[in-house]
Structures are given as C-alpha cells and as structure tokens.
Homo-oligomer: A and B are copies of this chain.
C-alpha cells in the first residue's frame, strides 16, 4: 500500500448502477491513460472534462472512440447500456450547446436517447412550446434544462409540465454572471416546485441523475 497508484472501484456498477467515470481535469497524461485502460478491461469508459490536449491523446490512443474536443468528452469502447429511455435536453441559447452536448453524450453512453431542443431562451418563450407539447403527452421522458446568464428557463419549463426537471447552470455570460453563479442561484431559488440542480457546467451529472431516475422507475 505504500505505492502511489490508481485504486479502481470495479464494483461500482453493481453498487450504484453506473460504472466509474474518468474525470480528466488535472490528470497527467500517464495517469489519465492508466485510469482509462484499467476500467476498459471491465467495461466501456466515459471521460469528462478533458482538455484539448487530453482529447487529442485519447483520440490517438483509441482512434475508434468518440471524442468531442469542444465538449471535453470521450466515449471509449462502446456504451454502458442501451434502450433505457428518452430524455429531452432544452437549452436557453446556442452558447450553452457544449454543456448540453456533454449531457447528450453522457445520456447516450448510459443508454438514454437524447432529444435536443436547443435555443429556446425566455426572450421568446413561444419557442419552448413544441417541446412542452411533446412532453405533456409523453410522461415517461425526463427533461434536462441547460441555461447560463439568469438561468430562468428551468422555471418557465417546469411551470408548464409534469416531468422531473434537472437544471444545469452554465458559465455562459459575463460580468455579474460570475462564471455561472447567477444562473446557479436562479435555479436553486426557482418558485416552481420540483426542480433540482447540479453543479455549474455539469452536463454529465444531469445525465447521471436522469439515469438514476429511469433505471429505478421504468422497470
């Protein structure tokens, strides 16, 4: 035990339903590759928050993997599950797309089909109507709402439908948005009951929350 090393958690899939995911931020090249390789022995691997350099390294090492440099996400060796369900992802603007796509790729890795409804900000709330219409009809679909700036979209969406709404604040904005703080506080203080929130820019976390819901209640 006096060796420094990677301590994998091979039973996590059994315990929590979801395997270990590699958080790339701050990992050296060799530690990143070691973590991926160790897990790949057991199951396909999802990598999140990878830098451009880390993405390039992963793509070189695993040329058949899906690597999205702008989103910092890699899906290596296939997906974890299939056919779990469907989930809608709504964004306020197109600047929120990278985080929305982190969520979308994570959903796909977890076996959930993402339904994208992007660029529906509250400046023109009629734009969210078709998304709401579909959701009113199909109660089994979960909803992820991704928004920066004032983060008002989850309130407006959740006030129109019955589904669980997982809100993802993004760091899109400037000045007193304080890197997503304004959106985060807005979402936490929503006047609409039943919205839950994940960390700023945590698209993967929202996907994982939806997965926990779906795999426990759709059976």
Contact = CB atoms under 8 A, between A and B. Distances in A.
A185 B7 contact: no
Contacts of A156: 122, 125, 152, 156
Interface in A7-22: 7, 9, 11-12, 15-18, 20-21
Interface in A105-134: 115-125, 127, 130-131, 134
Interface size, A (range): 35 or more
B217 A186 contact: no
Interface of A: 1-7, 9, 11-12, 15-18, 20-21, 23, 25-28, 31, 35, 49, 70, 92-98, 115-125, 127, 130-131, 134, 139-140, 142, 149-152, 155-156, 158-166, 169, 171-202, 204-206, 208-209, 211-219
A139 B216 contact: yes
A20 to B, nearest CB: 8
B159 A122 contact: yes
Given A97-B31, A201-B174, A1 B131 contact: yes
A152 B17 CA distance: 21
